[in-house]
Structure 1
């Protein structure tokens, strides 16, 4: 079996916990500043706007269509393929009121007919307005989705391991979410349902990494009760280090391919996954385990 990190390595991860905590606190502070000072670049799903469904007779270049429509409409445009390669849902990040709705619909129709003749006849199947209230409801539901995920994780880890491991996992996952959202804002990624899905995926992926390490820590504690806690935890992290890095790297390669070749539709998802995997791997090795150690030693002193 291939091992990136050879058996017997003795990196002192727990001993450097203060460095990890300091770096993470600074990064979380910067992430929170971005979240509250700059805010998210919400897509039409959350901010409201206009949704137009169109169908061509023949395939067209979706990236070219997105760029052209953004220029002609004068607003952010996202496009999703529906069923066949010739049917699309075009979402425009503006359009309040019947007049704007008709104006945007006419602009899209005229642009597609004039500049995408290679697609044959184009049919406007439907025109809908996504109101601000719908966007607010989706924001609330998105927040609840993350909250329910965190609560479920807390219960699961507490049952499988112990409460202090669950607490450490939740703190580390909140750390992962804040830093990932900071990257989303810093790179001006449009926050839509795709990005939300990626964020929830990152939470699950990061948790899986932490569970593997916690499981090894528990096994090691049972096998070598005479070994000091710090040494036992360091051995456990070192034993899982090769697996953690190889798994994260292989997943990263797949997601990077999505970012490069997947086009604009999937780019936001890929960026969030890339950031989340890197941050989650770091927090699994440096933050979650160090938090468990800090809580256990503090509890022991009491």
Structure 2
């Protein structure tokens, strides 16, 4: 099967333009909702992640699956700033918050347990990443990206003729 790409150049320009515009629109929407074009992970911004699983050995504790709305309401009650709630499976939830101290984490866990149900103490996972480590990871990531781009540029420059290498680098 042969695809004549040059013959359908307008189609490919249209598809590429559409994907680029959709990406820019998504980044603009993200900027208005989370004050950043991309959502950095907890590893980069610092914060606390709690992963809790309902204890299904208690009768009636797992009658209905968890919902993000009920957990988000608890976070709003606790006046915890920008946080995200994700349901991992029907009875496990992951909560990402700004950095919480031990008392705040305990209060949050207690409130969630009282409102939603008891959690299995063996499955509770709490991770806290400080902003210093997050900044170091971000800088290391940028350095790794820069080094890999430099390596690719050097390879393309040495491997291809100048005009092909120039446009290959431009496409990066």
TM-score by length of 2: 0.57
Partner of 1:42, secondary structure, is coil
- Report if aligned partners of 2:50, 2:125 keep a CA contact under 8 Å in 1: yes
Tell me the equivalent position of 2:99. Answer: 95
User: CA shift at 1:147, angstroms?
Assistant: 1.9
Q: Return the match for 2:120 from 119, 122, 127.
A: 122
Q: Secondary structure at the match of 2:100?
A: coil
For the pair 1:109 / 2:113, whether they are aligned, the reply is yes
CA distance in 1, matches of 2:5, 2:171: 27
The offset of 1:69, in angstroms, is: 1.8
Is the partner of 2:43 in helix, strand or coil?
Answer: helix
Cα 1:56/1:143, change in 2 over 3 Å: same
Aligned to 1:68: 70
Conservation of the 8 A alpha-carbon contact between 1:79 and 1:91: yes
Q: Which residue is 1:146 aligned to?
A: 145
Post-superposition Cα deviations, 1:179-232, rounded to whole Å, max 9, x if no partner, equal xxxxxxxxxxxxxxxxxxxxxxxxxxxxxxxxxxxxxxxxxxxxxxxxxxxxxx
Partners of 2:53 and 2:9 lie apart in 1 by 58
**2:157 is matched with which residue?**
158
SS in 2 for 1:9: coil
Is the helix fraction higher in 1 or 2? 1
Q: Is the 8 A contact 2:53 2:120 kept in 1?
A: yes
d(CA) in 2 for partners of 1:71 and 1:51? 17
Q: Distance in 2 between the 1:44 and 1:147 partners?
A: 22
* Separation (CA, whole Å) in 1 of partners of 2:125 and 2:8: 62
**In 2 relative to 1, CA 107–136 (structure 1 residues): closer, same or farther, beyond 3 Å?**
farther
Secondary structure, aligned partner of 1:134: helix
Aligned equivalents of 2:53, 2:74: Cα separation in 1: 19
* C-alpha RMSD of matched pairs (Å): 4.3
Q: CA deviation at 1:106?
A: 2.7
CA shift, 1:143, in A, is: 1.8
Match status 1:39 vs 2:11: no
| Structure 2 alignment gaps of length 5 or more | 57-61, 77-81
Q: Secondary structure at the match of 2:117?
A: helix
Using the size of structure 1 for normalisation, the TM-score is: 0.36
How many residues end up aligned between the 2 structures?
146
Query: Counterparts of 1:112 and 1:36 in 2: how far apart (Å)?
Result: 32
Distance change >3 Å, CA 125–CA 42, structure 1 → 2: same
